[in-house]
Amino acid sequence: MRAIVAKMLVGGPPLVFLLVFFAAPSMIMVLSSFRFPGEFGGLAPLAAPEGGTGGDYGLTAEAYQFFFSDVIYVEIFLKSFGIAMATTLICLVMAYPLALLIARSEKRFRNLLVLLVVLPFASNFLIRIYAWMIILGPESGFSHFVNAILGVFGIAPVTLLFSPFAVLVGMVYVHLPFMVLPLYTNLEKHDPSLLDAAQDLGATTWQRFWRVTWPLSLPGIFSGSALVFIPVLGMFAVPDILGGTGDILIGNLIKDQFLGTRDWPFGSALSIMLTLAVLSVAGLSTWVARSAMRHGQ
Tell me which residues touch other proteins (CB under 8 A).
191, 193-194, 196-204, 207, 211-212, 215-216, 293, 296-297
Of 8 and 293, which CB lies nearer to other proteins in the complex structure? Answer: 293
Report, in Å, the least distance between residue 205 CB and other proteins: 9
Report, in Å, the least distance between residue 180 CB and other proteins: 22
Report, in Å, the least distance between residue 89 CB and other proteins: 23
Question: Packing angle between helix 125-136 and helix 141-152, nearest 10 degrees?
Answer: 40
Of 26 and 205, which CB lies nearer to other proteins in the complex structure? Answer: 205
Q: Greatest CA separation found in the chain? A: 84
* Separation of alpha carbons 249 and 238, rounded Å: 10
Report, in Å, the least distance between residue 7 CB and other proteins: 30
For residue 296, what are the contacts with CB-CB under 8 A and spacing of at least 6? Answer: 215, 218
276 closest CA partner among 102, 64, 43 = 64
* Separation of alpha carbons 181 and 227, rounded Å: 10
Of 159 and 199, which CB lies nearer to other proteins in the complex structure? Answer: 199
The stretches of the chain forming alpha helices (DSSP H) are 2-18, 24-33, 62-69, 71-104, 107-118, 125-136, 141-152, 164-188, 192-200, 205-208, 214-234, 237-242, 250-255, 264-294
Report, in Å, the least distance between residue 288 CB and other proteins: 16
Report, in Å, the least distance between residue 287 CB and other proteins: 18
Report, in Å, the least distance between residue 135 CB and other proteins: 41
* Separation of alpha carbons 224 and 133, rounded Å: 27
276 closest CA partner among 77, 37, 82, 70 = 77
The answer to whether 220 touches 254, Cβ cutoff 8 Å, is no
Of 208 and 255, which CB lies nearer to other proteins in the complex structure? Answer: 208
Of 50 and 200, which CB lies nearer to other proteins in the complex structure? Answer: 200
Of 118 and 197, which CB lies nearer to other proteins in the complex structure? Answer: 197
Of 144 and 189, which CB lies nearer to other proteins in the complex structure? Answer: 189
State whether residue 40 is helix, strand or coil.
coil
